[in-house]
Structure 1
């Protein structure tokens, strides 16, 4: 019975889960941000390549 009580009161696993959820959320935010910026960055790169006389991306 004491082992079950200790297992229920143990919060070390909860901390690991919280960190994993925060890392997943941060990864999703970064992915969305870079996906949204992708077209703008691509157009700037194409402008630079065009001004240098190269082939566009």
Structure 2
């Protein structure tokens, strides 16, 4: 029983996977920011082109 408790305590202290989880979390936040920025820029660029097109067709 002591061996099981010791192995479980070792499992709780193990931090080897924590770094990869942190990197995955940071990467997901960065990707969300990039997608939001590209969407915002695309919407504004579309509005700009729609404002320019009537002047080009005259």
Alpha-carbon RMSD: 1.5
Matched residue count: 48
Q: Which has the larger radius of gyration?
A: 2
* TM superposition shift of 1:45: 3.8
Q: Where does structure 1 lack aligned partners over 5 or more consecutive residues?
A: 52-57
Gaps of 5+ in 2: 1-8
SS of 1:11's equivalent in the other structure is: helix
State the 4+ residue runs in structure 1 displaced beyond 2 angstroms. Answer: 43-48
Give the Cα separation in 2 of the matches to 1:46 and 1:13: 51
**Match for residue 42 of structure 2?**
34
Alignment of 1:13 with 2:11, yes or no, is no
Greater RCO, CA 8 A, separation 6+:
1
